[in-house]
Homo-oligomer: A and B are copies of this chain.
């Protein structure tokens, strides 16, 4: 099959995916919205989320116009066009996913009043809108631009840059918003006033629920949109320089894999249903079986594609298999280190017995230890992909093409894995709405059970996000090295070592900036919530109504102001190193940032997840249960973990990909540097 045929086939599958999205949106919107109280709460969340995203996109529009102008001036118009389209496509996917999530949350609550299965159905349908929107928008954007620019892959890298930029700001801005609101609501509401979570008397409660949507849904969607697009771009770029006469087949292969992934994900989605009295285990295995079935379908269709493609060795199929296995293996270990059914999280809860300090030490060391398995899995995936690619073709480019292809394989079933992830915040919100509108207790129980399932699948999702980010970033880095025509990459020669060290420090600086941002924004919320409790009469006995909108506005304002510095760092750092220290140092910087960012991201995500679940385990009655000293210690750990797992950690994934793609886009402009 020639390159263009593959791309056109992928375009068609992108359209199929889009059709599925439209169909699912109609399904969700046709559901019942529940009573008037529920509708009112839902519309407050909708308004808050839209207000945040509209504001955020205004900032981003300025950024896109400026950077688009810079690209036009220093590179060329086609790259600038691809950049703008990438930004728009990523923004649109995030917007759609968020909009459907805030429609689905209240409908999930209403459906859960009828039955658990109905609740799962609505929430998951909404998640699958996000999942499939990401996949189809990415495929459609990439294929149309590829065909429009006559197969010039280097222009299409602009699409990845646009997508990355949106992802960074969405992750950072959304991440700051969600955790500032969460921490702010908890510190005053739970700790100072002693009212429970999701209590409508808390002025920050709507902001907290808005945060779930703008951070966990829109942010995660943009993150994976970027990985997905980036892995295809990296594979296509490396494929285009392979020199055995089958270049077009190699360029086409990632598109083909993505295309069969669409089919597999849609088929998998239809497998999701559950019995009314399903246990947590059964719910989980429903989702797992559907995901695994999708993987099986991808592998079956992929081997056909590989065998049909002229000059493409079957070894590339083995690489796709490695990518899929690696993704699932990392996801398993993420769950192992963060779920309270396993020892690591239990050990954290047990350390609460001697107070918050030992709980924190234990949580940090569990997070650090949890980096080992993902690193070994990724290291061996790279080793094997490189060797297999090299063996298939004999050229180094083919080896690195293998690494990129492993990333494409890992993400091929994104349509369904992202759905299982994006459904979580919807269930979480549904629980909040059930609580605030005082629905019967069994409804909250059902949404809690869906939410808790969501926590597990979110851990899995984070595993995929991190694993794919590393493979994608490395593949993009390899593509950059090719594009920059760097002759020697000798580790000891010249500027490489300084480059690696500078790259390694950037994730630390980025994490520090985003954590400080959360602190500052949270502090603003704390002051506002305290003010409202002090100044609004009758707020505690429910006769006075808190001013939710002001809390949302303050969160929005702070999150957006605080995202600028870390965002700018990510774009400027590779350019500064590239121009000052030269193209070779930049390659070192990318490798340093990928290694260091990978580890810090895993550690922060897993420490945060484990503290959260250690608290949940204590709340089941262990170690003295709720309100015991151990529980109080665990609440402190959970609060420290909030910016770890939902702001800084996930934003690091994007940092490493964005810096790689910025380098790739500007590769031709770097010289030997000033030294």
Query: Which residues does A use to contact B, with CB under 8 Å?
Result: 183, 187, 191, 351, 354-358, 360-362, 364-369, 371-372, 375-376, 378-380, 382-383, 386-387, 396, 400, 474, 478, 481, 488-505, 508-509, 511-513, 515-516, 518-519, 522-523, 526, 581, 587-588, 591-592, 595-596, 598-599, 603, 636, 639-640, 643, 675
Contact = CB atoms under 8 A, between A and B. Distances in A.
Nearest to A498: B379
Nearest to A509: B372
B491 A588 contact: yes
A229 B77 CA distance: 58
B493 A492 contact: no
A175 to B, nearest CB: 14
A640 B595 contact: no
A508 B370 CA distance: 9
B494 A386 contact: yes
Given A502-B376, A526-B354, A591-B491, A366 B512 contact: yes
B380 A498 contact: yes
Contacts of A478: 492
Given A361-B639, A383-B495, 5 more contacts: A357-B639, A361-B519, A382-B497, A383-B581, A592-B595
A371 B636 contact: no
Nearest to A590: B491
A386 B272 CA distance: 60
A97 B152 CA distance: 68
A513 to B, nearest CB: 8
Contact of A643 (B191, B361, B492, B522): B361
Contacts of A513: 365, 369
B400 A368 contact: no
Given A357-B640, A492-B481, A493-B396, A504 B362 contact: no
A360 B361 contact: no
Contacts of A640: 357, 360-361, 364
A523 B495 CA distance: 47
A525 to B, nearest CB: 11
A420 to B, nearest CB: 27
Contacts of A518: 361
30 contacts: A355-B636, A356-B356, A362-B515, A364-B515, A365-B511, A365-B513, A368-B509, A368-B512, A369-B512, A371-B505, A375-B505, A379-B498, A379-B501, A382-B501, A383-B675, A387-B494, A396-B493, A400-B492, A474-B497, A478-B492, A491-B591, A497-B591, A500-B595, A501-B598, A503-B595, A504-B504, A504-B595, A504-B599, A508-B603, A596-B596
A375 B595 contact: no
A519 B187 contact: no
B502 A375 contact: yes
Contacts of A491: 481, 489, 491, 496, 587-588, 591
A89 to B, nearest CB: 30
A596 B595 CA distance: 8
A457 B358 CA distance: 28
Contacts of A375: 501-502, 504-505
A355 B501 contact: no
Given A371-B505, A640-B361, A354 B523 contact: yes
Contacts of A488: 490
Contacts of A396: 492-493
A375 B365 CA distance: 24
A173 B490 CA distance: 38
A362 B588 CA distance: 30
Given A361-B643, A504-B599, A508-B369, A490 B492 contact: no
Given A379-B501, A640-B360, A369 B492 contact: no
Nearest to A526: B354
A185 to B, nearest CB: 13
Nearest to A187: B354
The 3 A-B pairs with the shortest beta carbon distances in the complex, nearest first, are A357-B639, A368-B512, A379-B498
